[in-house]
Amino acid sequence: MVEFAVVAPVFFLLVLGIFELGRLVYVYNTLQGAAVDAARVAIRYSTPLPSNADIEQRAQAHAASLSLATGCPNGPITNPTTANTGYIYITGTPSQTAYNAPGGASGSVPAGCSAIQAATGNAELKVTIVYYYRPATPILADVIGNVMLTAQATMRTEY
């Protein structure tokens, strides 16, 4: 019995760590898939051209099990402050900073957000999802801490 008392906490911590690692990989893969799906929506040529809302809806639909929000969809990119939530951003690439939104984006922007500059002429758009991951197991949350996951997809527009 003494041996079990010594080994059991280590064993259960190891088992919970394996489950938590699996959950972390699941969340990252879901975010990456959502970013790719959202980027495909951003680049397609259709009537009307895609808007920020179309891209955000596609990312949220792909990652239905995760909490994704939108604050400043076209930047600046900031980290979420609430555990197990993420933000969706549509921006240009470093080599092409002139555009930060799909062709159908328009309207006013909240204070502190980047102005909308709709893409034209085969521009590159990048969809970024930043997610604040907190382990579900309290002991592992104290040991590992919080993890910022970032998933990105960059594609050229068809318009």
CB within 8 Å of 60: residues ≥ 6 apart:
34, 68, 88
Question: What residue ranges do the domains of the chain occupy?
Answer: 2-156
Distance CA 144, CA 130 (A): 19
67-69 and 124-133 strand pairing = unpaired
For all residues of the chain together, what is the average pLDDT? 93
pTM of the model as a whole = 0.92
Residues of the chain with pLDDT > 90: what percent?
74
| Dihedral angle over CA of 68, 72, 50, 155, nearest 10 | -80
Amino acid of residue 114: S
Burial call 104-132: b when 16+ CB within 10 Å, e when fewer: bbeeebeeeebebebbeeebbbbbbbbbb
Distance CA 153, CA 31 (A): 10
Q: Is 50 exposed, middle or buried (0-12, 13-18, 19+ CB in 10 A)?
A: buried
| Confidence band, pLDDT 50/70/90 cuts, at residue 121 | confident
